[in-house]
Chain A
Amino acid sequence: MKKYIPYLISGLLMLFIYGSLGAQELPDDEYFESEEVSDDTGFGLGLGVKLSTFGPGVEIIAAFTPKIQLRLGGTYFNYTYNHTDENVDVNGSADAKLGSVSLLMNYHLARVFFLSGGLLYNMNEIGLNGYFTQSMTIGSMEVEPEKIGTLDFLVKPGSSITPYAGIGVGRSLSKNGVVSFAVEAGAVFHGKPQVELNASGMLEPTGSEEQRQLLEDNLSGFNIYPMLNFQLSFRLL
């Protein structure tokens, strides 16, 4: 955690500088909001659709003050790529599952800039599966693919509940209008990825605990997942 402290300090320093420049009142910005429909009471409720690095999803947004909004959302995306080419010895599939349930809070530093933070239930998984399609000749022996075996590799986040921090431009919920748009970028701190490694047949020792641990160590640097989110919201109340 100590390594993050300089950057937290830097961020706080920037916020202090921003505050010292006199951002006391949020200005209007017609680029991110539609026609005004209500008085500025502070409270609002809306529904959003979004496309993010966690996949497409929806979100419920509640605004309690002009600066603070609470967002409850969910995303899901699954893509499987099957490589089936009988002309090569090894085929396989890659399965990428992206998904999250998020509870975030936005704090607007200015009309169009906001900080966002919260927690995600992280459902991301990437799986790879490889298998032989053709017999292998060893000496005078024809070894069937079933005998050779398969290799399965799955990477999951180190923790299912993961913190998130980001910055955004726009509004997740329009202050006075119906439609709003926001773009945010951030990072999800999912910890040291977990690796599952399974092998069968002759390849069985490849799936040993030592090998799994090695792969996990190699992936230990990938403990942040980038978040880029495009969101279109509609104010209901």
Chain B
Amino acid sequence: MKTKHIVLLLGSSLLLFGLFFQSSCNKLKDVTDGAQLIIDYNLIETTVDVQFYDAATGELIGRNGDASVNVKITGADKNGVMDVTGVQSQSMQYATQRGMVGLALLPEAAYTPSATKPISFNLVADIPGYLSTSQKVTLVATGRTQIRVNMVHKDNPPEGVTVARETGVTTAVNGRVENPATVTTPGGRARIEIPAGIILRDAGGNALSGSINMDIVHFDNTVEEALAAFPGGLMTNVTRSDGSEEDGMFYSAGFVAIEITDGSGRQAATFEEGTVAMEAVVSPQTFNPETNGNVAAGDVVPVWSYDENTGEWTEEGTTTLELVNGELTAGFELTHLSYYNFDWFYGAYCYSGVPFVFNATNTTCDCYQMQGAMYRQSDDSFLTYVYMWVCGDEPVYTAYAPGGIPVKIVWDENYYDNVSIAPESQPTMIDDLCAGNPIQINVVTQPSSSITVEVEVYCASEPNVIIRPSFGAWYREINSWNWHWAEMNNGDAEICDVQVGNTYVVGIYYDNNWYETEVTVTQEAYSYVGFELPADVCSEVFGY
């Protein structure tokens, strides 16, 4: 009996273990073998791309990599600004590369812009040889915003801007000016008189000493190139004389920038024991919104000072236009040194304007950029540049739009080879950006090609963690300086208006550096799956 039981047990066991062995053991693998942790790196929801142009040449400043604009972030929400790769500068200063800087907002609730909770900050731009300027940025929605800032080179100003640069106009001892000095811009457009005995101090309270130098820059408000380079822009935020703040737009009657320095580079900011006299010629073609006509002697114009370090305007008082030697002249006694502006200011604004709908057929790309310039209809005065990122028939909203006044937008026809504005939409006349029906823009497109790019990157120290990046890049044809923007979302990008066989320069901005390379397009789809990131990028961004 025992023998039979043993035989039976062995036989059945052989059957069962054989089944196990055959079906399981030969195939067992690590369950996670080959599996990867794939991450969509799409944290950044709001980006701000800023391009700095030379106002005279129309070229990006330092487009060859030979100069860089220092950009300081100031203003209420400055702590929410970082660079587009997610790294925030402790000093809140960033440097342009090839004339561009990519900024972004921290992806936190406190810095998520909306129409009810706009996020605003100032870009204060400075580069040797150029007049310092700034631009107020107000964001009312997530997404991409592009901003253009024109800067005036003091030795090569644009049309409508006159510059006087004089060294040794007087001397100062312990800040006290020894002899009176007068500096006038070419054509007599602006004049500054420094009396003897006045004391000059810099922003830190230090007295200027020795030889005194003076730069005066006058902007003619009737010349578009000058208005487009207007420091701070014409649509901005001001502090009224009662301390209240207001958003609105300037109706300009002229602008004068003054910089007084000593041999040590100290820049005058305050005066003691006296005032400095400023006079500027006002063009008789200047539009007075209060009289709804051209200016005339006796018109009262508000005067504003501009802090070029913070980008903030402050109401200083008013001046009355006088006829001096046959020219309308505005004068003002300066108690501190700054940039000064003779402007009327009106504050009708809406944070989110009426939508624009772009009607295009046969578009090659899902998204494309439309850009142009906005003018006030009443005096045909330049207001601001307009950039819209158009995706299909999705409406595009104008942020921080001037309300209650008719404006027009003249669209740039040269940005793409295959996208242009239909004649009936060029220019686009708008009665009120803050009210009314959606604005229909008809776009004419020509057949073109695009390419797709797929990217997955990893760090060598964590090869099983795959990152699908979201970022933007610039590209241009190798013989053109017309940079185009392309966005990658979660590792996928479509690049428009690119021809197979052509060579392009592709660049990205990362951590205050610019990386560019030449690429000859040889196919319609590219895949960079398994691309290893540099170790320093892994360490700084991901901590790997």
Contacts and interface: CB of A to CB of B under 8 A. Distances in A.
Given A8-B15, A11-B15, A165-B16, A3 B22 contact: yes
B16 A3 contact: no
Contacts of A8: 15
Interface string B21-43: 01111111111111111111111
A115 interface: yes
Residue picked from B12, B29, B30, B107, most chain A C-beta under 10 Å: B12
B4 A115 contact: no
Interface of B: 1, 3-5, 7-16, 18-20, 22-44, 82, 85-88, 106-108, 468, 490, 540-543
A154 B18 CA distance: 29
A10 B108 contact: no
B197 to A, nearest CB: 51
B40 A202 contact: yes
Given A27-B1, A113-B8, A14 B86 contact: no
Given A138-B542, A218-B29, A221-B27, A11 B12 contact: yes
A109 B8 CA distance: 8
A11 B8 CA distance: 9
Nearest to B33: A218
Contact of A218 (B20, B30, B43, B107): B30
A113 B8 CA distance: 8
B108 A142 contact: yes
B7 A138 contact: no
Contact of B26 (A140, A205, A221): A221
B293 to A, nearest CB: 52
Given A138-B43, A167-B16, A18 B7 contact: yes
A188 to B, nearest CB: 11
A187 B20 contact: yes
Contacts of B37: 203, 206
A222 B82 contact: no
A186 B39 contact: no
Interface in A151-188: 165-167, 185-187
B492 to A, nearest CB: 11
A88 interface: no
Contacts of A226: 20
Q: Name the interface size band of chain A.
A: 35 or more
Nearest to B89: A140
A18 B29 contact: no
A205 B41 CA distance: 11
B422 to A, nearest CB: 40
Contact of B32 (A137, A141, A215): A215
Contact of A141 (B5, B36, B107, B468): B107
Interface in A20-62: 21-23, 27
A219 interface: yes
A54 B36 CA distance: 32
Contacts of B40: 202-205
B483 to A, nearest CB: 25
A106 to B, nearest CB: 13
Contact of B42 (A4, A7, A109, A202): A202
16 contacts: A10-B15, A18-B11, A113-B12, A138-B86, A139-B85, A139-B86, A139-B87, A140-B106, A142-B108, A165-B19, A205-B490, A218-B29, A218-B32, A218-B33, A221-B28, A224-B24
B31 A218 contact: yes
A185 B468 CA distance: 49
Given A206-B36, A222-B24, A186 B16 contact: yes
A53 to B, nearest CB: 14
A140 B39 contact: no
Nearest to B86: A139
A17 B13 CA distance: 15
A33 to B, nearest CB: 16
A236 interface: no
A143 B4 CA distance: 69
B38 A14 contact: no
A16 to B, nearest CB: 9
Counting from the closest, the 7 A-B pairs by CB-CB distance are A14-B11, A221-B27, A139-B86, A11-B15, A140-B88, A7-B18, A167-B12
A15 interface: yes
B4 A110 contact: yes
Given A11-B12, A221-B26, A221-B28, A23 B4 contact: yes
A139 B82 contact: yes
Contacts of B25: 221
Contact of B23 (A3, A6, A141): A3
Contacts of B9: 113, 167
